Amino acid sequence: MYLKDLSQIYGASGNEESVKKYIKDVVKKTGKIDYIKEDHLGNLMCFKKGKIQKKTLVVMAHMDEVGLMITKIEEDGRLNVSPVGGVDPRVLIGKRVVVGEKNIDGVIPYKAIHLQKKDYKKIPDWDDIKVDIGAKDKKDAESKVNLGDFCHFRTFFEEYENRYVGKAFDDRAGCSIMLETLEAMDDLPVYNIVFAFVVQEENGLRGSGAVLKHFHPDAALIIEGTTAGDNPELKRERWSTHLDNGPAISYLQSMHVIDRRLFNAIVETAESIKIPYQIKGRTVGGTDAGRLARSFYGVPGAVVSVPARYIHSPVSVMSKEDYNHTGKLVKELVLTGNYLKVLEV
């Protein structure tokens, strides 16, 4: 399993190089890929020729995570930041971060409760969010960081009885499952496969569409980390997914109606190998499946996700069983050719 290593690498949207280097090294060591291709955006595409070369499947996960970027250095040396991807400022208060290429330690402070006048009832504005790196003043801070430097959550991966805890499970979980699937290839797959590790999904699905022009695939399977809505304060009808109920299968997203043939293939495969699965309960949010459907000539795709609580925050919680069942489902779909067979006329 590569999840621990991938989770702890820093790689916000537009800063995926360290993640890509790790993945590329793993792929090369497996010796199971015919060739690796990179494009100008930073996407990493790993091609494996199949027994039947008339069809090509793209299996895709994004390498980036949400984060912050330095936008101003105050006179007192504190740093103003803006979100890179969807970040709620409420999850940042009191958290530790690293800043810039040297990963300088910092904290995100907030006014002490003794000094507040009902401030605790207010959602912080981004103007209220500062990063303190211990600089004496602006000049001292400028000697250590620059405008445009990335700021990442400083979170360490932990493992409990049936839980993984860490950052960036959206979508390092997908990247890890793809590496495990690639590693599991003992023979030629039925069809050509492109394992595409893409950039800048969290910043507006920017990278994935470019993959299509390189390989002209017939279908795509997106592997994601998705929201688990089983918080006690939420009504059950608002739950998106639930930990320990298996991989989540989407039928509709804000940008995309999932191809019914591919959706059915995923459900039938999960039932045939006797693993639990759940249909994702809420349709908000988008994935690279939506981008692929409206890019180039349009490619049908579907999404299999690992539920995780508190995604897009400094710490997420994932079920080990959900992760393992998702990996088993993806291997069965991809390596047997079952996923693409449903598109044959």
Average pLDDT taken over every residue of the chain: 91
Name the fold adopted by 3-65+167-341: Aminopeptidase (3.40.630)
Of the candidates 68, 9, 45, the residue with the CA atom closest to the CA atom of residue 207: 45
Does residue 65 carry a catalytic annotation?
A: no
Of the candidates 301, 316, 244, the residue with the CA atom closest to the CA atom of residue 278: 244
| Domain locations along the chain | 3-65+167-341, 67-153
Contact between residue 288 and residue 198 where contact means Cβ atoms under 8 Å apart: yes
Tell me if the bond preceding 128 is cis, omega within 30° of 0: no
Contact between residue 329 and residue 275 where contact means Cβ atoms under 8 Å apart: yes
* The two structure tokens encoding residue 261: 């043939």
Contact between residue 169 and residue 316 where contact means Cβ atoms under 8 Å apart: yes
Looking up tokens 């039938």, which residue turns up?
268
Of the candidates 119, 177, 135, the residue with the CA atom closest to the CA atom of residue 306: 177
Q: pTM for this structure? A: 0.93
CA distance 245 to 6: 24
* Catalytic residue chosen out of the listed positions 16, 65, 180, 201: 201
Each residue's pLDDT tens digit, 285-310: 678 888 888 888 889 999 999 999 99
Report the pLDDT averaged over residues 119-141.
89
Element counts in the chain: helices (H) and strands (E)? 9, 19
The predicted structure's pLDDT at residue 205: 81
Task: Render 195-245 in DSSP notation, one character per residue.
Answer: EEEES-STTTS-STHHHHHHH--SEEEEEEEEE----TTS-GGG----TTS
Residues contacting residue 234 through CB under 8 Å, at least 6 positions apart: none
Torsions phi, psi for 160 (to 5 deg): -120, -170
Looking up tokens 């950052």, which residue turns up?
167
The predicted structure's pLDDT at residue 293: 83
CA distance 184 to 318: 23
* The two structure tokens encoding residue 250: 């989407």
CATH for 67-153 is 2.40.30.40
Each residue's pLDDT tens digit, 169-201: 999 999 999 999 999 998 889 999 999 999 999
